[in-house]
């Protein structure tokens, strides 16, 4: 066993004004607590993150760092609403214009580490939802983006719906309805960003099934159909995850 130092690149519309140094607990499994030194600095297309890992070999050190830093980014991504992609590869030497970027500081980075640790140990479905949400933000393929954002809603609904409700046993559509009603009431006109579209859940679930099962044709009309649903889907996913965590689990993800 030895200490390894792992360098990872975070690509996305994010930066920091100064180098951030901190020490935080890493607990990927209950009871196995380790301290890691973290250094975060700005880079050409985002951030460079260097983390120490105490383990038996460099391959495992790299995997642990990817998992550990990735969970933190799941939280930071929804806090900033920026797609954050993590890689150990060198940055591409390109000039990429980023007109609006989020500036993060030491407090927000440390909070994201602490919150991701808590979610990993106590509220795993919420952390999985954050991971899908982050993927939905950074992927450019509209089909993959749609599936990831829909999955972020699906994960919470399938885990936290009212199991004593006979309707929810019929499947995910009713489970999502049940959770939306729990948060926003029975009147769909009051559901955030859905604008009274009564069939919003059913329509998006059908589209999800068409994409996942290869039933949708890869042509302009189909792509435009998916793209037209993305803004609403992202807004609903964001509101649903954040509000469910805060109002139902007493976990504040964003300020």
pLDDT in tens, 151-194: 999 999 999 988 887 788 778 999 999 999 999 998 888 888 88
Q: How far apart are CA 87 and CA 167, in angstroms?
A: 43
pLDDT given for residue 137 in this prediction: 95
92 falls in which pLDDT band (50, 70, 90)?
low
Token output for 5: 């130092």
State the pLDDT confidence band at 97, using cuts at 50, 70 and 90. low
Strands (E), 116-203: none
pLDDT digits (tens, 9 = 90+) for 47-90: 999 999 888 889 888 988 898 899 999 999 999 999 999 987 76
Spatial separation of the C-alpha atoms in residues 56 and 237, rounded to whole Å: 39
pLDDT tens for each residue of 205-230: 999 998 888 877 777 888 888 999 99
Burial of 23 (0-12, 13-18, 19+ CB in 10 A): exposed
Please state the pTM of the whole predicted model.
Answer: 0.89
Q: Give percent of the chain with pLDDT exceeding 70.
A: 93
CA trace torsion 243, 181, 249, 172 (10° rounding): -100
Domain ranges of the chain: 2-122, 126-249
Return the closest-CA partner of residue 251 out of 165, 74, 123. Answer: 123
Residue 75, burial from CB neighbour count under 10 angstroms (0-12, 13-18, 19+): buried
- What rounded mean pLDDT belongs to the chain? 88
What local confidence, expressed as pLDDT, does residue 27 receive?
Answer: 60
pLDDT at residue number 87: 85
What is the spatial distance between Cα 143 and Cα 136, in angstroms, rounded to a whole number?
A: 10
């Amino acid at each position: 066993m030895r200490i390894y130092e792992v360098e990872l690149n975070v690509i996305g519309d994010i930066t920091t004004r100064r180098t951030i140094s901190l020490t935080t607990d890493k607990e990927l499994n209950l009871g196995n607590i380790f301290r890691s030194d973290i250094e975060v600095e700005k880079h050409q297309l985002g951030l460079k993150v260097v983390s120490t890992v105490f383990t038996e070999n460099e391959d495992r050190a790299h995997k642990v760092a990817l998992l550990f830093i990735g969970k933190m980014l799941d939280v930071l991504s929804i806090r900033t609403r920026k797609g954050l992609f993590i890689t150990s590869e060198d940055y591409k030497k390109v000039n990429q214009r980023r007109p609006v970027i989020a500036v993060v500081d030491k407090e927000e980075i440390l909070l994201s580490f602490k919150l991701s640790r808590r979610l990993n140990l106590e509220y795993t479905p919420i952390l999985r939802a954050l991971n899908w949400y982050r993927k939905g933000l950074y992927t450019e393929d509209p089909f993959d983006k749609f599936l990831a954002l829909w999955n972020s809603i699906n994960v919470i609904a399938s885990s936290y719906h009212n199991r004593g409700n006979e309707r929810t046993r019929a499947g995910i559509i009713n489970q999502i309805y049940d959770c939306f009603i729990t948060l926003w009431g029975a009147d769909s006109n009051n559901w955030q960003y859905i604008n009274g579209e009564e069939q919003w859940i059913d329509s998006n679930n059908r589209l999800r099934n068409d994409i996942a099962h290869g039933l949708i044709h890869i042509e302009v009309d189909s792509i435009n159909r998916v793209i037209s649903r993305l803004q609403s889907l992202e807004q609903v996913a964001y509101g649903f995850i954040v509000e469910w965590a805060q109002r139902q689990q007493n976990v504040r993800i964003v300020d």
